[in-house]
Amino acid sequence: MSSRSDDSLLEWAVKTAGRDSQYAAPRWSHIKRIFGLGSASAVKLCRRYNQDPDELVGGCRRCEELKWTTYREPREKPADYGA
């Protein structure tokens, strides 16, 4: 097993934060939740590792697909969807 420095582990955590989340949210909000930080500290941590704090991360694409289908037949998306 290779030994990683604390800094490289922290960088990896920041880069992958929220990737498996069911809900899409800005990267800083995933960092805030994971590390128990305030929003300003979470933004600073993102910037320290050259990650865009406002990038939307997460969101289950399969869940989004299922939202518009039933087990029997597909439904149409409402006209105002995504507005």
Distance CA(39)–CA(46), nearest Å, equals 11
Per-10-residue mean pLDDT of the chain, 83 residues long, equals 82 91 88 94 95 88 55 59 62
Tell me the pLDDT tens digit for each residue of 29-46. Answer: 999 999 999 999 999 999
Report if residue 73 sits inside a domain.
Answer: no
User: Domain total for the chain?
Assistant: 1
Question: What is the pLDDT at residue 64?
Answer: 56
pTM of the predicted model as reported, rounded to 2 decimal places: 0.67
To the nearest 10°, report the CA torsion of 28, 32, 37, 43.
0
Report if residue 30 sits inside a domain.
Answer: yes
Give, in order, the Cα–Cα distances in Å from 15 to each of 8, 47, 60, 68, 71.
10, 11, 18, 31, 36
Question: What is the pLDDT at residue 23?
Answer: 81
Question: What is the pLDDT at residue 66?
Answer: 54
Report if residue 35 sits inside a domain.
Answer: yes
Residue 60 lies in domain: 8-67
